[in-house]
Amino acid sequence: MEKKILDDENLLAMLDDLLREPKGFWENFYEDRNKDIPFFKVTGPDENLVEYFSKGLSPQKVLEVGCGPGRNSTYMAQQGCHVSALDISEKAIIWAKERANEEALNIDFHCVSLFDYDFETHSYDFIYDCGLFHHLPPHRRLTYLKIIKKALKKDGHYGLVCFNTAGAANTSDWDIYKEQSLKGGIGYTEERLKEIFEKDFNIKDFRKMRKSNKRLDLFGENFLWTSLMQIKNDC
């Protein structure tokens, strides 16, 4: 069948085909739970997420995007949040459900891309992303931001964990398309991240993640940025 570009969705689909790591990649990624992947070895949540809650963040309705094995979804449900969690990998969702069941927690898991997820507009107090954003190509980053803003309630919060330049190369947007590769993820500088988010969000906290020194109950690696933001009222 001839593939045509007749609208914006056709254009996005074409660019996705060039750059996005496919569902098959992530299914293979989660195939072996014993792989030497830092967050595979840890059962607990991100250290920054725990800090946010300890300092007064108390959302009722939460959306986690790219939830992986469910470490953070489980923690937030334990704090009394109603959690919906998304991941494109079925194997990741199975792992996450197993963890939730072990803790007798009711979490609303979905094996779906954020871009295909059907949600109620302005319905979430808090959206959390640990590890999805730095795998997005620039054209999907724009769509991602629109979705986050549309999904958050007025004064809602957004938490982000993503690669800094110690975690991945700081490849420019244009070079990603010239080279037709994300090279495993984008390493962001502080300036580049703030340029993306400051228009629509008040940045309340921004720092490197603290290394957790091999603790199994808390995840922390200093090749990652962490940030807590609050959506601006005019968005």
Amino acid letter, 109: F
Q: Tell me which DSSP letter residue 46 carries.
A: B
Count of all residues that appear for the chain in the document: 235
Strand partners for 48: none
Q: Tell me which DSSP letter residue 39 carries.
A: G
Structure tokens at 85: 């969690």
What was the pLDDT predicted at 14? 86
What was the pLDDT predicted at 20? 64
Annotated domain spans of the chain: 20-31+38-231
> What is the average pLDDT value for the chain, to the nearest integer?
94
Q: Give the integer Cα–Cα distance in Å for 64 and 66.
A: 7
pLDDT tens profile 20-55: 667 888 999 999 999 999 999 899 999 999 999 999
The helix-helix angle for 8-19 and 138-151 (nearest 10°) equals 120
What was the pLDDT predicted at 205? 98
Judged by average pLDDT, the poorest of 14-28, 53-67, 115-129, 180-194 is 14-28
Whole-angstrom Cα Rg for the chain: 17
Q: Give the integer Cα–Cα distance in Å for 155 and 135.
A: 27
Is residue 127 predicted with pLDDT exceeding 80?
yes
What was the pLDDT predicted at 21? 63
**Cβ neighbours for 123, distance < 8 A, ≥ 6 positions apart:** 61, 151, 153
What was the pLDDT predicted at 235? 65
Is residue 1 predicted with pLDDT exceeding 60?
no
pLDDT tens profile 188-226: 999 999 999 999 999 999 999 999 887 889 999 999 999
CATH no. of 20-31+38-231:
3.40.50.150
What was the pLDDT predicted at 175? 94
Q: What percent of the chain has pLDDT over 90?
A: 83
| Cα–Cα separations (whole angstroms), residue 213 to 20, 183, 216, 217, 218 | 32, 27, 9, 11, 9
The separation between CA 156 and the C-alpha centre of its own chain, rounded to angstroms, equals 16
Instruction: Determine which helix (DSSP H) or strand (DSSP E) holds 63, and give its type and residue range.
Output: strand 61-65
pLDDT tens profile 164-189: 999 999 999 999 999 988 888 999 99
Q: Give the integer Cα–Cα distance in Å for 122 and 99.
A: 29
Count helices and strands (H / E) in the chain. 8, 7
The separation between CA 109 and the C-alpha centre of its own chain, rounded to angstroms, equals 15
Instruction: Return the residue matching tokens 């790591």.
Output: 21
